Amino acid sequence: MTNELKGVIRKYYEIERAWTGSDKNSNEYLAAVCLFEYPSYRLLDSDKRDRLIGFRLLVRTLRRMLSSGNGKTEINPEAKALVIGSSKNTNDIIQYISRSGKTTLHTYFDRDHMSLGDFGKWLPTLAWLPYALRQSFRCIFSQYRSAIALTIAEIPEIAFTLEFAKRNSISMLYDFLPYEVDSNFMYLVFRANNIGVFKIPSSGPLATHHKILLSDFIAVSTPYHLEEIRKFSSTMRIGDHALWPPEKAHMYFHRYKNNRDWEENNTIGFYSHGEWIRKAEKQSDYGGRIGDAEEAILRMLGNLVRKNPTLKLRIFPHPRELKPDKRDEMYAHYAKCIGHEAFEVFTQPGGTSQHFAKAEIAIAAFSTILYERLYSGYKTLIGNMFIFEFPMNQSSLNSICFKTEVELEEMLNRFGNIDADSFFALTGLVDYRMDSYPEP
């Protein structure tokens, strides 16, 4: 691993030089913008102010470099594809990539917990330590300290993954974490070693995290992704794309394939992204003023329910909000935003995607569940106030977006009590339904 580690460090310095250089069109410059200027969700927002964050990352990473054997799931030793992802839903991700990509996988790496000592401990550590110490001292004074600190862990992670890929003759890396700030940096390292990279973003708009995206292949899971790839072609540099169903489609495909009816007319569902609790827990800001948009939508819905008591408002919380110690705080938050208590919070188990029939029309500001619901054939609206770049001009998604209470009321009157086929025909969103996708 020592040689790979030295090579990745050299590539890092090349990217850092490109960041301050005159050529603003190179792949290295674009990767540097992501690495140094984009927010990461691997650190807390408070870490940006911690002058010792570099030394903390050094210690954590050192422990990982002196350990072996953890953080990977072995699948098929004869396969030639590798996955890098998180610890959440490992088996579901493996099945998703295997089915949608029609491939067999060698190993799954849980990036945050992968040990880094399988291919030697002391020599790689000695090669890495001068770099890590340099970066740690830079963090004391730099305004980019959180980005610089993260490279202390990112570089050995990339080097370890590369060494593993070379040892096992891997020809393709499936990147399930393309929103990470070093994803494009990692792509350049693997491309230089003749290993392909296939990125798998979520169903939400690419521009949220991927306005810069370098990859050999990408999975697109909504027609809107294709619109974005065309618009941002100068910075989304992709070899080819493949249409995949949403990530969890296999869990509800058969439930909705032949039955897309809802249980009650006049039921309005609100899908929460949980921004208020992310802020309370000091998580990194998701961007786009999503929290403000959610509160605005809830106020509108509160006014419309007060005006029209035949409407039933049903809140579908984010899993973060359903923690037992957050229940009272959650109800208080919604009562404050809505302005009264004429609503219910849906808490049945199984996940929101298993309960699309519980709302005739569902509304959200930002959530991948919106696209899963459209995929499943249910009426859906998007509140895009404060999110000025979404959707793009001429996109069919504009037909279900609103910014004001008047627009929301008009849409509820227009689309309420009509069948789903009519809704998709009127909005021009027929291609968003599962009928237009390969089976998961």
Please write down the HEC assignment for all residues of 211-236: CCEEEEEEEECCHHHHHHHHHCCCCE
pTM: 0.91
How deeply is 229 buried, as exposed, middle or buried, from its count of CB atoms within 10 A (0-12, 13-18, 19+)? Answer: middle
**What is the Cα–Cα distance from 147 to 145, expressed in whole angstroms?**
5
- Predicted confidence at residue 45, as pLDDT, reads 80
Q: Which tokens belong to 316?
A: 């579908």
- Per-residue pLDDT tens listing for the chain (440 residues): 999 999 999 999 999 999 999 999 999 999 999 999 998 989 888 888 999 999 999 999 999 999 998 999 999 999 999 999 998 889 999 999 999 999 999 999 999 999 999 999 999 999 999 999 999 999 999 999 999 999 999 999 999 999 999 999 999 999 999 999 999 999 999 999 999 999 999 999 999 889 999 999 999 999 999 999 999 999 999 999 999 999 999 999 999 998 889 999 999 999 998 878 777 665 555 455 888 899 999 999 999 999 999 999 999 998 888 888 888 999 999 999 999 999 999 998 888 999 999 999 999 998 899 999 999 999 999 998 877 778 988 899 999 999 999 999 999 999 998 999 999 999 999 999 999 999 99
pLDDT value at residue 393 = 86
Provide DSSP, 266-281. TEEEEE---HHHHHHT
Question: Helix, strand, or coil here: 97?
Answer: helix
Q: What is the pLDDT of residue 280?
A: 67
Can you tell me the distance from the alpha carbon of 337 to that of 52, in angstroms, rounded to the nearest whole number? 39
Q: Which residues of 77-115 are buried (b: 16+ CB within 10 A; e: fewer)?
A: eebbbbbbbeeeebeebbebbbbbbeeebbbbbbbeebb
pLDDT on residue 282: 58
